[in-house]
Amino acid sequence: MKHIINCLVENQPGVLARIVGLISGRGYNIDTLNVGPTADSTVSKMTIVVPGDAKIIDQVTKQLSKQVDVIEVVELTNRRHLERELILVRVGVADNTQRAEVLDLASSFNATVIDIQKDSISLQMASNQGAVTEFLRLLQPHHIIDLSRSGVIAVGRECV
Amino acid sequence: MKKQAPLKPEIPPQPQPQRSGAQCVIDGLVKAGCEVLFGYPGGTVLDIFNCLYDAPFKFVLTRHEQGAVHMADGYARATGKPGCCLVTSGPGATNTITGLATANMDGIPLVCITGQVALHLIGTDAFQEADIMGITRSVTKHNFLVRDVNELPDILAKAFYIATTGKPGPVLIDIPKNIQRALTSVPTKDPKRVEMRAYRPDVKVAKADIANLADLLNKAERPLLYAGGGIISGTASAVLTELARKANIPVCTTMMALGAFPENDPLSLGMVGMHGTAAANYAIDKSDLLISAGARFDDRVTGKIDEFASKAITVHIDIDPSAIGKNVSTHFGINGYLAPVLKALLPLVKRVKHEAWFQQVQEWKKKFPLGYPQPDGVLMPQTVIKMIDKLSKGQAVITTDVGQNQMWSTQFFTYTKPRNFISSGGLGTMGFGLPACIGAQLGREKELVVCITGDGGIQMNFQELVVAVEHQLPIVVVILNNGFLGMVRQWQELFYSKRYSGVMLSQHGRRPNEEIADKPVYLPDFVKLAEAHGATAYRVTTEKEVEAALHEAFKRKKTTVIECIVSPEANVYPMIPPGTHVSSMIGHTKN
């Protein structure tokens, strides 16, 4: 099972390397990792998606909390939360039929067209992991020229 | 008439006196209570060494940076105070890795200062540059790169604060050369008054948790205390002893906790684990309540993990939250400092005799004492250690290397006080014994400090013997020379059909692919080598000679090396083969 872990850290050089090194050094995997500033300029937030059972997630959470630069660790999967992943995808369209199919798919998943070329369409979509995965699965038969995923970002819906 | 106060001339705000980053380092060490600094100079720490010239504490020049870290480590283990070391950038810094990893695994407070090339040169592959921040991240509790001299006083205080609080550990400060030369007016900070947003080692334990634990303990029929190194680093030995005696609870210790509970007490079962006593391992297997205090369920203790303490409710008290539930899923975890937790628990625990259980463990102790075969005409390594115990009346501080010498040292010396057994537990670092012995002796000048080592381990840091001689340290180094890398040989004997591959230090019986010129049979000559370093040395081959040499060494109070030629193929028993249950134990019945 995938777990979303939000980690507030001191906004200092080397912290990202420390966190990533910790997780890989202990033999755990990272599915996606997103880092950005927060409202407080001295604090950064990392959203880490880690696959594993409850025991692994317990260890990852504890090991992260133990780091001197880590202010707070919240495991969001088992709490009420909002999650989004942004994707940018460029799809090749050879003819009008294909173009119509892609546009149709895009509109049913609330993906936005952000660029149109003679032989391709670029789409933007932001949703939860499930919808993103599903959308990409349905796009699969088409020619995906390029794909960028932001990784999951998330916020809790209640006070911790 | 009232006299008018004379007008005070305006005093402009006095600028704080400026000092260099290098001076900040010395001042920070003094403020943290540093008594002795171990180290080795080099290009990027010249400025600090220049200030060190006038420092009020002792500086010990080691012969290798690894020696410096192990010495600081031995000093810390022997005294409970943080050890300090200072080395240069590049190779100086990379030579500290084994020492840092050793301290990190065992939770030993150290502050290691490394020089670094000037900030603007970082990343250019400058001379003696190494990314020591990246390299040491996983073997330290924390590390700092100083980017601004004004932050240096704060970082020094934080380093000592982090090293000594929570689960202690090594902290490294990497200081670029230009930062050492830059000036600052920021004053020295006190490590005791550090506040950090993201690091808050003061955990509060809920009263309900303590009450629950007391309840479990009061209801248990076969309770057992399993004490780990946390008891020693958390100064909880006295309260643990009080608790055990109050409720008549037997105590087994890990290797890291030897001496945390007096081994001459009837409640002591000695060490648990692969080479622990039969009584301790049986007790774990049969107990109905296992209370782990500052231990971490290491694989050398648990063996086959899903059958470990299978009849017990397991309770885990530890200051490190990540230790709880890491190796074994315990039923009940308490995250907190051991001394206050055990103190709070003490009044809630009833005086119970646990008569049947007590009798049972006594029976195991009587039936399966630690022993060894004693053939005629051969000096047994165990005999040497028993002799050290006897002649020092069990009061010596013992440091060891790793392997058979280490295990026999745990088995045949009676530890009654914390901080008297100093050994690399988690990492299992050969070459630790001698430098740790030097550090321990510098921390406890009046006491007898003995290094028990093997002919393999001693060769890993022999060069540090010079330091003991220079500082006139009365350490006694006892080399158990069996001509083998003994523990590896023992595993090859037991699990690899006696195919002794790459373990022979003597030339007797070497395989053709390891053969070299057939003479001399054994190198080096440890007596000559020790004498060349300025120490007194003896070679002994009988129990009588061991006694005489130890007696002489303890009396003379000068650096002494005693090489004991011991039985080449003696084994450490009992032994629970790795990854197996206690029922697979071998060598615990009459040897």
CB distance from B142 to chain A under 8 Å?
A: yes
Q: Is residue B198 a part of any domain in this protein?
A: no
Task: Show the tokens assigned to B505.
Answer: 């230090």
On average, the pLDDT of chain A sits at 94
Which among A72, A63, A77 is positioned nearest to A44, based on CA atoms? A72
Domain that holds residue B111: 19-193
A46-62: pLDDT as tens digits = 999 999 998 889 999 99
B442-450 mean pLDDT: 98
CATH code for the domain of B219: 3.40.50.1220
- Fold match between A2-75 and A82-156? yes
A108-123: pLDDT as tens digits = 999 999 999 999 999 9
Residue B177 designated active-site? yes
Domain end residue (candidates: B193, B226, B249): B193
Tell me: do B69 and B159 sit in the same domain: yes
Q: What is the ipTM of this complex?
A: 0.90
Q: Which residues of A touch B162 (CB under 8 A)?
A: 68
B277 — phi, psi (to 5°)?
A: -75, 155
Buried/exposed code over A117-153 (b: 16+ C-beta within 10 A; e: otherwise): eeebbbbebebebebbeebbeebeebeeeeeeebbbb
Amino acid at B166: G
Residue B128 designated active-site? yes
Tell me: do B419 and B507 sit in the same domain: yes
Task: Show the tokens assigned to B312.
Answer: 């017990």
What is the residue extent of each domain of chain A? 2-75, 82-156
Residue B297 designated active-site? no
Tell me: do B133 and B63 sit in the same domain: yes
Give me the residue from A21, A55, A69 closest to B138, CB to CB. Answer: A21
Q: Which residues of A touch B159 (CB under 8 A)?
A: none
Q: Which residues of A touch B141 (CB under 8 A)?
A: 68
Contact (CB<8Å) A68/B326: no
Q: Which residues of B touch A10 (CB under 8 A)?
A: 197-198
- Spatial distance between the Cα atoms of B65 and B62, rounded to a whole number of angstroms: 7
pLDDT band at residue B591 using 50, 70 and 90 as cut-offs: very low
To test the contact with chain A by mutation, choose from B132, B137, B141, B173 the residue with the greatest count of A C-beta atoms within 10 A, namely B137
CB distance from A11 to chain B under 8 Å?
A: no
Window B:188-227, CB contacts with A under 8 Å: 196-199
Active-site choice (B57, B128, B326, B543)? B128
B487-512: pLDDT as tens digits = 999 999 999 999 999 999 998 888 88
> For A82-156, CATH number?
3.30.70.1150
CB distance from A27 to chain B under 8 Å?
A: no
Give me the residue from B198, B322, B329 closest to A71, CB to CB. Answer: B198
B286-341: pLDDT as tens digits = 999 999 999 999 888 988 988 999 999 999 999 999 888 888 888 899 999 999 99
Contact (CB<8Å) A22/B138: yes
To test the contact with chain B by mutation, choose from A60, A62, A75 the residue with the greatest count of B C-beta atoms within 10 A, namely A62
Q: Which chain B residue is nearest to residue A70, measuring alpha carbons?
A: B198
Sheet strands (E) in B31-178: 36-39, 58-61, 83-87, 110-116, 142-145, 170-176
Q: Among A36-45, B329-338, B439-448, name the one with the lowest average pLDDT.
A: B329-338
Residue B526 designated active-site? no
Task: Give residue B171's pLDDT.
Answer: 98
Task: Give residue B3's pLDDT.
Answer: 58
Task: Give residue A35's pLDDT.
Answer: 95
CB distance from A118 to chain B under 8 Å?
A: no
Q: Which residues of B touch A70 (CB under 8 A)?
A: 198
Contact (CB<8Å) A55/B329: yes
pLDDT band at residue B5 using 50, 70 and 90 as cut-offs: low
Active-site choice (B31, B141, B167, B177)? B177
Tell me: do B238 and B305 sit in the same domain: yes
Pick the CATH number of A2-75 from 3.30.70.260, 3.30.200.20, 2.60.60.20, 3.90.1170.50: 3.30.70.260
Sheet containing B170-176: give its strands across: B58-61, B36-39, B83-87, B110-116, B170-176, B142-145
Task: Give residue B186's pLDDT.
Answer: 96
Asked whether the beta carbons of B454 and B482 are under 8 A apart, the reply is: yes
Task: Give residue B47's pLDDT.
Answer: 98
CATH code for the domain of B32: 3.40.50.970
- Spatial distance between the Cα atoms of B335 and B141, rounded to a whole number of angstroms: 18
B246-293: pLDDT as tens digits = 999 999 999 999 999 999 999 999 999 999 999 999 999 999 999 999
Residue B487 designated active-site? yes
A6 — phi, psi (to 5°)?
A: -100, 135
Q: How far is A9 from chain B (nearest CA, A)?
A: 8
Which among B475, B504, B487 is positioned nearest to B562, based on CA atoms? B475
